[in-house]
């Protein structure tokens, strides 16, 4: 994201970028913008492909279940001991010559990074792909301070050029076609139009190589921090994570405070499941383990390493009934498998974290008021839990999130009335039987067979965005009774 409005360009980008100011405030509102569009078709296609790659990788690795259990154990125990581990991690980073900064919220984290960059005399910051700096909107802060920042992950570079937003944890431009990218590059980089992915790649390679080699400061996120050694692990396929930590004089790593594991052994377990679950690779191309800045005698690497540790709502989540969501390792597998994500795309979730994990994480981090409807963006089918490499009970957390909203009185009045009415009927067997019989009779009057696609009055609140299964003409209990009496 960039602070400077680039409307002349964005108007020419076919997949209209999301403008936060005009974006609908509800999930349904946002989803309707994209429903059935080319953008969502591209998402569905890409998500299916990633899902298939994951399935193949998991099936061919005999130790998958063992390593999943170990990765899960490592992450859960890290969360249970997070205060102790953070202290140890920070001590170790400093013992190896790094500097640790503590940021309570996004504004503080951005201010810290901006100050370090300014002190380093940075005119240009090269940034590798990172979700946490998307969360804090770091680029806005740097640009406001007059520091140019360039995203160097190919997907994020495309997002930045188009003033767009990422729509997937690991594939930021899943919603974009190569024709979109072709027009964008021709417009913004002054190159001849080409829609051949290899040629587009070469254009970006040439452009970004100069950025890597002339940037004063490199900014990255952190995939895993190891408390025992003070090591920061970065996982990338393109090599941008390596460049921004090798060429510039200063490296700043921003880390969500929950990224830690305690031991190297636990980090190994996470690495063995991360790429397999995300892209279906056995390992991503580059797994970089950074322990402190360049040491005496090292021919290259940054002279300074700064690790900025961010809370921004995480400690509150840690003390809540959805604390488990902090174990997420950001592989994106739950997005790829989710029938809702596939239909609506990442932008519908309205925050940087989409899909099932985002539907839990966003309201937990930012408070449920603004995001009360996100936990309902799920069919609770449970596929996300099945594929999660650290076994997070996402359906359970989605239910807990719904309960949190309901208990705060956050349900909209119509829904509250409907749920009360349902509860009153469902708690009385006679009333329930009568209601079912009535529903069965009524269903006969509705046109068509199979799913009910539209209902009048209050019923339309459901059928506006969903289909309803047709109630059976005779209830299970009726049929059971008939069967027992031999009728």
Partner 1 sequence: MERERFLAAVAANVTAGVLPAPPPITTGPPSLPDVDLIETFCTRLGVIGGHAHRCAIGEAVRQILDLLGEHAATAVLAWDDLPVPRLASLLQESGVELLASSMPADRGERAAHLGGYLGLAAGLTGADAGLAESGSVVLSHGPGRPRLASLAPEVHIALLPASRIVRSLAHFLAADPVVVARTANLVVITGPSRTADIEQRLTIGVHGPRHIHVVVLDDA
Please report whether residue 283 would count as binding partner 1 according to CB under 8 A: yes
Could you say which residues in the range 432-461 bind partner 1, by CB under 8 A? Answer: none
Residues 90-119: b if buried by 16+ CB within 10 A, e if exposed: bebbeebbbebbebeebebbbebbbebbee
- Strand bridging mode 231-236 / 148-151: unpaired
Between 45 and 119, name the residue whose CB sits nearer to partner 1.
45
Q: Are 118 and 147 in contact (CB under 8 A)?
A: yes
Region from 12-20, 286-294, 409-417, 424-432 binding partner 1, contact rule CB under 8 A = 286-294
30 contacts: CB under 8 Å, gap ≥ 6? 23, 24, 344, 347, 348, 349, 350
CB of 288 to partner 1, least distance (A): 5
170 or 344: CB nearest partner 1? 170
Q: Name every residue whose Cβ is closer than 8 Å to that of residue 232 and which is 6 or more positions away in sequence.
A: 93, 222, 224, 225, 253, 255, 289, 290, 291, 307
Q: How far apart are CA 63 and CA 323, in angstroms?
A: 27
Instruction: Judge contact between 262 and 74, C-beta under 8 A.
Output: yes
Residue 60 or residue 464: which is nearer to partner 1 going by CB?
Answer: 60
Cα distances (angstroms) measured from residue 188 to each of 136, 174, 273: 26, 20, 38
The footprint of partner 1 on residues 144-163 (CB under 8 A) is: 152-155, 158
CB of 405 to partner 1, least distance (A): 17
* C-alpha–C-alpha distance, residues 90 and 229, integer Å: 10
Of the residues 6, 12, 99, 178, which one makes contact with partner 1 according to CB under 8 A: 178
Q: Which is nearer to partner 1, 150 or 436 (CB)?
A: 150
Q: Can residue 86 be called a binding residue for partner 1 (CB under 8 A)? A: yes
C-alpha 414/C-alpha 275 separation (Å) is 44
Among 288, 351, 401, 404, contact with partner 1 (rule: CB under 8 A): 288
Cβ neighbours of residue 174 under 8 Å, at least 6 residues apart?
A: 42, 43, 46, 47, 167, 168, 345, 346
Binding residue (CB under 8 A) for partner 1 from 115, 295, 428, 477: 295
* Residue ranges in 61-81 assigned as alpha helix (H): 64-80
Restricted to residues 363-422, the positions that interact with partner 1 (CB under 8 A) are: 393, 400
According to CB under 8 A, which residues from 4 to 63 bind partner 1?
42, 45-46, 49-50, 62-63
Q: Where does this chain touch partner 1 (CB under 8 A) — which range of 4-12, 267-275, 374-382, 430-438?
A: 267-275
From 79, 222, 254, 329, residue interacting with partner 1 (rule: CB under 8 A): 79
Minimum distance between the CB of residue 241 and partner 1, rounded to whole angstroms?
9
Site for partner 1 in 208-247 (CB under 8 A): 208-210, 212-214, 226, 228-231, 237-240, 242-243, 245-247
Query: Which residues from 298-357 bind partner 1, rule CB under 8 A?
Result: 298-301, 303, 309, 311, 315-324
Indicate whether 100 belongs to the interface with partner 1 (CB under 8 A): yes
* Among 19, 56, 119, 265, interactor with partner 1 by CB under 8 A: 265
116 binds partner 1 (CB under 8 A): no
Q: Which is nearer to partner 1, 76 or 418 (CB)?
A: 76
Pick the binder of partner 1 from 160, 163, 279, 312 (CB under 8 A): 279
The 3 state secondary structure assigned to 424-482 is HHHCCHHHHHHHHHHHHHHHHHCCCCCCECCCCHHHHHHHCCCCECCCCCCCHHHHHHH
Size of the site for partner 1 (CB under 8 A): 116
Q: What does residue 105 show for φ and ψ, rounded to 5 degrees?
A: -145, 180
Beta carbon of residue 309, minimum distance to partner 1 (angstroms, whole number) = 7
**Distance between CA atoms of 133 and 220, rounded to whole angstroms?**
8
Q: What is the DSSP code (8-state) at residue 236?
A: E
Nearer to partner 1, 164 or 452 (CB): 164
Lookup: tokens for 373: 């409807």
């Amino acid at each position: 994201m960039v602070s400077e409005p680039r409307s002349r360009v964005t108007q020419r980008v076919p997949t209209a970028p999301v403008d936060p100011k005009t974006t609908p405030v509800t999930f349904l509102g946002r989803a309707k913008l994209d429903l059935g569009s080319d953008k969502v078709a591209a998402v569905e296609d890409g998500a299916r492909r990633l899902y298939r790659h994951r399935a193949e990788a998991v099936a061919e690795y005999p130790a998958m279940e063992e390593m999943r259990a170990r990765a899960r154990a490592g992450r859960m125990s890290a969360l249970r001991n997070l205060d102790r581990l953070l202290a140890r991690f920070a001590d170790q980073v400093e013992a190896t010559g790094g500097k640790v900064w503590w940021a309570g919220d996004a504004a503080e984290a951005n201010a810290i990074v901006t100050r370090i960059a300014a002190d380093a005399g940075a005119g240009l910051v090269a940034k590798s792909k990172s979700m946490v700096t998307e969360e804090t909107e770091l680029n806005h802060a740097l640009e406001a301070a007059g520091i140019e920042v360039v995203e160097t992950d190919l997907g994020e570079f495309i997002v930045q050029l188009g003033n767009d937003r990422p729509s997937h944890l690991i594939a930021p431009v899943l919603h974009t076609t190569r024709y979109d990218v072709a027009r964008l590059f021709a417009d913004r980089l002054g190159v001849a139009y080409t829609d051949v992915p290899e040629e587009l790649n070469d254009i970006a390679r040439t452009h970004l190589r100069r950025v890597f080699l002339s940037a004063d400061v490199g900014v990255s996120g952190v995939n895993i921090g190891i408390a025992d050694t003070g090591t920061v692990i970065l996982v990338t396929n393109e090599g941008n994570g390596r460049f921004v930590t090798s060429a510039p004089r200063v490296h700043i790593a921003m880390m969500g405070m929950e990224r830690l594991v305690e031991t190297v052994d636990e980090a190994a377990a996470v690495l063995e499941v991360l790429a397999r679950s995300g892209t279906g690779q056995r390992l991503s191309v580059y797994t970089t383990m950074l322990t402190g800045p360049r040491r005496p005698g090292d021919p290259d690497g940054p002279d300074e390493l700064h690790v900025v540790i961010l809370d921004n709502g995480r400690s509150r989540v840690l003390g809540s009934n959805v604390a488990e969501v902090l174990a997420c390792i950001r592989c994106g597998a739950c997005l790829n498998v989710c029938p809702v994500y596939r239909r609506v795309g990442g932008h519908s979730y309205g925050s940087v974290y989409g899909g099932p994990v985002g539907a839990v994480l966003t309201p937990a981090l930012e408070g449920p008021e603004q995001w009360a409807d996100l936990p309902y963006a799920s069919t609770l089918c449970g596929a996300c839990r099945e594929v999660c490499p650290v076994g997070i009970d996402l359906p359970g957390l989605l239910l807990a999130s719904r309960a949190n909203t309901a208990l705060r009185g956050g349900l909209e009045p119509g829904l509250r009335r409907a749920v009360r009415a349902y509860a009153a009927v469902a708690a009385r067997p006679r009333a329930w039987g009568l209601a079912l019989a009535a529903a069965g009779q009524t269903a006969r009057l509705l046109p068509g067979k199979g799913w009910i696609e539209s209902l009048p009055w209050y019923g339309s609140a459901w059928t506006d965005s969903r289909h309803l299964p047709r109630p059976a003409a005779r209830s299970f209990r009726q049929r059971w009774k008939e069967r027992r009496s031999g009728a």
